[in-house]
């Protein structure tokens, strides 16, 4: 597994080593010891989720506030998506910045999005099966988000905004300015070092 820090260094692309032949392929999709060694702190995943969506479906921008904030390790099993993370940590040098990466069934890359980031994705293929690990349980009372099309963040979703398919919840999210933020110094950095 190769780990690549993005322009926002806490967000990481994970590239597996794939072994393939005429029978098919094999790869390790997750290994706790080398993952934590790279990050330098412990991440205890406790919930796995999976969704299937059609072309143009956008899910985001979502996050949970403390004490139920979540790190996510996301990947695509079938299809192709543009995956996006936005730094919600006030005090961070990257506050309000977004980072995106295309995840496909072919490249088998994964995207690690730590606590303090909002997350979303849009489907670029006919359908996509999306899977992810979380290091905290889903808690509806602490679920938050902001509007995917907010000009203050200006995410390039690679599709015309009028073509996107959204849930009623995501059509009614607040602006980035009005959304709940994290305190970079107080809320997040009680990390257990490896």
- pLDDT one-digit tens code per residue, 161-182: 999 999 999 999 999 999 999 9
- DSSP letters spanning 114-174: -TTEEEEEEE-SSEEEEEEEESS---GGGEEE--TT-TTT----SS-GGG-B--HHHHTPP
- Assign 186 a pLDDT band (cuts: 50, 70, 90): confident
Q: Does a structural domain hold residue 161?
A: yes
Active-site pick, 63, 94, 132, 148: 132
Q: Does a structural domain hold residue 6?
A: no
Q: Does a structural domain hold residue 89?
A: yes
Report the Cα 101 to chain-centroid distance in Å: 10
Question: Structurally, how many domains does the chain consist of?
Answer: 1
The three-class DSSP label of residue 39 is helix
State the distance between the two ends of the chain, measured CA to CA, in whole angstroms. 18
Q: Does a structural domain hold residue 36?
A: no
Domain of 74? 45-183
For residue 152, the domain's CATH number is 2.60.120.10
- pLDDT one-digit tens code per residue, 137-157: 999 999 999 999 999 999 999
Q: Does a structural domain hold residue 192?
A: no
Annotated catalytic, 101?
Answer: no
Quote the Cα angle for 7-81-168, to 5°. 105
Cα distance between residue 24 and residue 10, in whole Å: 33
Annotated catalytic, 137?
Answer: no
Active-site pick, 62, 63, 101, 119: 62
Closest CA to 170 of 71, 88, 63, 81: 63
What would the two tokens of residue 149 be? 């099309």
Cα distance between residue 46 and residue 143, in whole Å: 17
Phi, psi of 30 (to 5 degrees): -160, 140
Q: Does a structural domain hold residue 193?
A: no
- pLDDT one-digit tens code per residue, 53-110: 999 999 999 999 999 999 999 999 999 999 999 999 999 999 999 999 999 999 999 9
- pTM beyond cutoff 0.85: yes
- Confirm if 165 and 54 have CB atoms less than 8 A apart: yes
pLDDT confidence of residue 190: 59
């Amino acid at each position: 597994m190769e780990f690549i820090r993005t322009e926002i260094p806490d967000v990481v692309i994970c590239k597996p080593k794939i072994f393939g032949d005429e029978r098919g392929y094999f790869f390790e999709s997750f290994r706790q010891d080398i993952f934590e060694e790279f990050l330098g702190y412990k991440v205890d995943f406790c919930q796995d989720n999976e969704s299937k969506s059609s072309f143009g479906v956008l899910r985001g921008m979502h996050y949970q506030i403390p004490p139920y904030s979540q790190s996510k390790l996301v990947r695509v099993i079938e299809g192709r998506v543009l995956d996006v993370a936005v730094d919600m940590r006030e005090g961070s040098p990257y506050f309000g910045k977004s980072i995106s990466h295309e995840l496909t069934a072919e490249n088998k890359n994964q995207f690690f999005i730590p606590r303090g980031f909002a997350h979303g994705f849009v489907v670029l293929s006919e359908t996509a099966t999306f899977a992810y690990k979380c290091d905290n349980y889903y808690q509806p009372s602490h679920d938050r988000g902001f509007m995917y099309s907010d000009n203050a963040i200006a995410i390039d979703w690679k599709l015309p905004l009028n073509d996107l398919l959204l849930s009623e919840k995501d059509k009614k999210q607040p602006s980035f300015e009005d959304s709940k933020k994290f305190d970079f110094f107080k809320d997040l950095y009680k990390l257990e070092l490896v």
